[in-house]
Amino acid sequence: MADFSLVAVAVGLIYLAAFGCIYRILLSYRTAQGAIAWIIALVGLPYLTVPLFLFFGRYRFGGYVKARRMGDERLTELLNRFEQQTTSIPEPATGHFQDELQVLCKLGRQPFTDGNHCSLLRDGKATFEALFEAMEDAEHYILLEFYIIRSDRVGQRIKSILERKLAQGVEVWFLYDDIGSVWLPQTYLDQLSAAGAKVASFGNGNIRRRRFQINFRNHRKLLVCDGKVGFIGGINLGDEYLGTYIDQEPWRDTHCRIEGPAVTGLQLAWMEDWNWASDQAPQLDWAPQSPPPGSDEVLVLPTGPADDWETCTLFFLNCINNARSRLWIASPYFVPDLQILNALQLAALRGVDVRILIPEKTDNRLIRLAAYSYLVQACRTGIQIYQYQPGFMHQKVILVDDRYCAVGTANFDNRSMRLNFEITAVTTARHFLGSVESMLEEDLASSRLMVKEDYQRRSVFFRLSCRAVRLLAPLL
């Protein structure tokens, strides 16, 4: 009888927890479909679904929001100072600067700045050479933030440079994501710390505030040296971008080097992440360069699950809805939700040249299957989907007409739009637009245009698999 009572109490507690989760879902769900799926699972299989919901069901990164508010006074002061710089463009009057770009300023809580110089880095070799050179030239401090850091040849070269710069008196602040860098040996981090670097993990730094939030990732990849030179893009710190693994082609990816006042935007994003991960407060250089190194207009757009809105989703929608003649998107993962897919279809129907560049070879088979499920809908409205052939394409690039482009870390999937902390650089610079156009034209020439028969002629099992995996799109 006692055993039966214990079982009854346990079952009651589990269902009580399930209804507590349902209460939270009803107060904060994003989509009706997702809410219904969670509720059905919680009622039918509460023993399994309650722990899954605690770890994967949340969409706001609550601990980060609190940390942001705790450090908001200092960050707000820095942001206000940034917006008041002479290089900021609060209300540009030039014809090419439309309302759609003003909206991005509001989304990212940062201004467009003038006086920058941007350089496109088209592969891992060019990117790493530029990163190494910038770190070697640093005189005061180096800020790193990467999703994946490996202890391979690239990783060891990074560590060697950092240790040498630390010995010269340069400060190093090293931030990494504990999920993306799960295989990074502790000895690597210990050696950096012993050399004097300030090292922090985005997850472990505040484990109490971060409990039950392992579904969120810091997917940003950036480097800042002395507040003057910064880097942003899709490339992590690993040998895969050089093709040094046996029987492996180099990963195709893109990064961007920025020199000028927009680097302050990178520092602000890094500072907010560091504020979450550590109680240390670095003294950084926030003064604008004089004279500025160029004339490029640049906006740094940080996005993430601690924002008031779904910032990354709104960014993509803004690009799609405002495209007039051309919209080229390169992303390794193409799993759009219904509103994004509908926006792409409308753009194609109004005559926009919509091209989606995805990889033929991928590191995620589920993502590949899900992408096939969109093929027929896309082709019917004139959306062209290309599969990059030579190797795994990992770049995240958008080209909107001849007006602006973006290079960053955000993929075209639910995780980037709603769960990951991402960062993107948007620019109107003509020379940079030309470089991006030329790069994408070469990538498209190395790609195969998909047709709806690629899906329709496949086996029933393949098509069912694609449709089944598509149901998991919110979790991919």
Q: What is the pLDDT of residues 186-219, one digit of tens each?
A: 999 999 999 999 999 987 654 444 444 566 789 9
Within a domain: 232? yes
Torsion of CA 73, 76, 81, 86, to 10 degrees: -170
Domain match, 146 and 43 both: no
Q: Is the pLDDT of residue 174 over 50?
A: yes
Q: Which residue has the higher pLDDT, 163 or 84?
A: 163
> What secondary structure letter does DSSP report for 446?
T
Contact call for residues 276 and 397 (beta carbons, < 8 A): no
Catalytic residue among 123, 253, 394, 443: 394
| Of 134, 141, 108, 110, the residue nearest 231 (C-alpha) | 134
At residue 462, the pLDDT reads 83
What is the predicted pLDDT for the residue at 139?
96
Catalytic residue among 117, 159, 221, 255: 221
3-class secondary-structure state, position 249: coil
- What are the DSSP calls for 339-395, one per residue? HHHHHHHHHHHTT-EEEEEEESS-S-HHHHHHHHTTHHHHHHHT-EEEEE-SS-B--
Boundaries of domain holding 163:
63-97+119-293
Q: What is the pLDDT of residue 457?
A: 85
Look up 401 and say whether it is catalytic. yes
CATH number at residue 160: 3.30.870.10
Asked if residue 128 and residue 80 are part of one domain, the reply reads yes
Tell me the pLDDT of the chain averaged across its residues. Answer: 86
- Sign of the CA dihedral with 306 first, then 329, 390, and 132 last: negative
* 394 is an active site residue: yes
Same domain, yes or no, for 46 and 76? no
Catalytic status, residue 396: yes
- pLDDT at residue 244 tops 80: no
Residue 162 near residue 197 (C-beta atoms within 8 A) = yes
Distance CA 264, CA 84 (A): 12
Residues 275 and 205: their CA atoms lie apart, in Å, by: 10
Q: Which residues pair with 422 in a beta bridge?
A: 303
* 242 and 161 inside one domain: yes
From 123, 159, 396, 443, the catalytic residue: 396
CA distance 75 to 285: 14
Amino acid at 9: V
Residue 410 shares a structural domain with residue 357 = yes
Q: Which two tokens stand for residue 7?
A: 């079982």
Of 106-115, 126-135, 161-170, 363-372, the least confident: 363-372
Active site residue 307: no
Domains contained in the chain, number: 3
> Quick check: 444 and 355 in contact, CB under 8 A?
yes
pLDDT band at 48 (very low <50, low <70, confident <90, very high): confident
Contact between residue 259 and residue 228 where contact means Cβ atoms under 8 Å apart:
yes
* CA angle (168 as vertex; 166, 170 as ends), nearest 5: 55
Query: pLDDT value at position 83?
Result: 73
Same domain, 378 and 428: yes
Structural tokens at position 55: 């770890």
pLDDT grade for 17, boundaries at 50, 70 and 90:
confident
Q: Which of 123, 337, 401, 413 is catalytic?
A: 401
Confidence of residue 169 (pLDDT cuts 50, 70, 90): very high
Are 337 and 225 in a shared domain?
A: no
Give me the catalytic one of 226, 239, 296, 413.
226
Q: Which of the following is catalytic: 117, 159, 165, 219?
A: 219
Q: Are residues 195 and 288 in the same domain?
A: yes
Residue 87 and residue 48 share a domain: no
For the stretch 94-116, pLDDT in tens is: 555 567 888 898 888 888 999 99
Question: Do both 201 and 350 map to the same domain?
Answer: no
Query: Which residue is associated with the tokens 């180096």?
Result: 142
The torsion angles phi and psi of 120, rounded to 5 degrees, stand at -85, 130
